[in-house]
Amino acid sequence: MITPPRPAYFEEVAPGDTLRGWEEALRPDPRNESSVVFDESGIRKSTLADQYECIRGFELNPAVPHSIKVHFETARNLYLYSWFVYRFYPVAEQQALTSLEFALRKRLPPLEDTAKGKPQFEGLALRLRRARELGLITNEGLKIRERLAMRSARARYDLEALEEMIRTGVTEMVLDDSNIEPNEQDFNGDWIGRFVESLPKIRNEYAHGSHMLHPTVLGRFEIVCDLINQLYPNEG
């Protein structure tokens, strides 16, 4: 008699993903203990203080409504506590993206479904497009615009160096990126358009259940914080 393979749902959950005992609740997740930081002293192991410093700077404008701030603060706390529970990272990212959708829902006037005589359903993608059409979010208004332009300039520099290597036939080249400066084309990137396309896909991936697990979610926090602050700019 042939024994069928055990279905995946019979697999044991890894110890790091199970409910912690109370005596271990405040210990770092083992997967975070392998992370390092670079500072003036060189390379050292990351600490909870480093985790806090990473998320501390993402603050919403005073003009942002209280309910949205509370939503976003929950996302920041989830990131902080990811130090203890590694699988909180994607939960923190999902909460941040949901905070953006919440802010858009609060900021935009509802679309009326004339056929049904009630508000039309809108997802994150449609709300982002509407906010862009209304001029509530713009590429020029992004605080991270300069950093994004520098990233574009660096990619262009690397591509030009690769093309030069192919043209000359050399196999090695020393790159000096200290003089890289973004040009007008780099500053004219359509980042809002990319966010409109990418953010809803990430949010939907989480909303319907996902295997995604990675700690590098700060980039999404930066984008969400920037966009919400554009939706609710400070007066004056």
Tell me: the pLDDT tens digits for 90-124? 999 999 999 999 999 999 988 776 666 666 778 89
Contact yes or no for 71/60 (Cβ under 8 A):
no
Q: Can you give the residue ranges of every domain in the chain?
A: 32-139+207-236
As beta bridge partners, residue 171 has: none
Residue 212, number of CB atoms within 10 A of its CB = 11
pTM: 0.83
Q: Please report the pLDDT score of residue 212 as a whole number.
A: 81
Rounded Cα–Cα distance for residues 234 and 112 (Å) = 29
10 vs 56, which has greater pLDDT? 56
84: pLDDT strictly greater than 70 = yes
What are the two backbone dihedrals, phi and then psi, of residue 38, each rounded to the nearest 5 degrees? -110, 125
pLDDT of residue 97: 97
Confidence (pLDDT) at 114: 61
Q: 3-class SS at 14?
A: coil
Query: DSSP 3-state assignment of 45?
Result: strand
> What is the number of alpha carbons within 13 Å of residue 172 lying toward its C-beta?
1
Of the listed ranges 30-44, 138-152, 159-173, the one predicted with least confidence: 159-173
Using the Cα atoms of residue 93, residue 96, residue 100 and residue 102 in order, give the sign of their dihedral: positive
Give backbone dihedrals phi and psi of 112, rounded to 5 degrees, phi first.
-90, 125
Confidence of residue 218 (pLDDT cuts 50, 70, 90): very high
Asked if the model's pLDDT at residue 33 lies above 70, the reply is yes
